[in-house]
Amino acid sequence: MSPRPNYDVTLANRCYRWQNDGMPVQITVRDIPERVRDELAARAAREGKSMQEYLKAELERLAARPSIHAWLERVRERKRASGRRVTSKQILAQRDADHR
């Protein structure tokens, strides 16, 4: 006979995730140089935003894009899948042909 799953734990995990999915999270960053803080404050002011609004928007923008490592891995995967190699001479020849 197989062991019975612990439904109480599963339900508790689901409730915890449901409860916390939409809740905002606070992040604290320490030891920011003054020159960096001043530049970020100036950018926020130019956009008519508070520092918090500006940084939140920047973090959302950053998180929406893949990291350079993830992007490179996708490129490598596509290269492996295609099975083709393009030489630098072919790339330059195509570029030069496009400029004519």
Residue 82 has a pLDDT of: 87
Q: Are 34 and 45 in contact (CB under 8 A)?
A: no
Residue 14 has a pLDDT of: 65
pTM: 0.56
Kindly state the average pLDDT of the residues 33-41: 98
Q: How many CB atoms lie within 10 A of CB 20?
A: 9
pLDDT band for position 98 (cuts 50, 70, 90) = confident
> By percentage, how much of the chain surpasses pLDDT 90?
53
Is 60 exceeded by the pLDDT of residue 71? yes
In the chain, where are the structural domains located? 28-65, 66-100
Is 80 exceeded by the pLDDT of residue 3? no
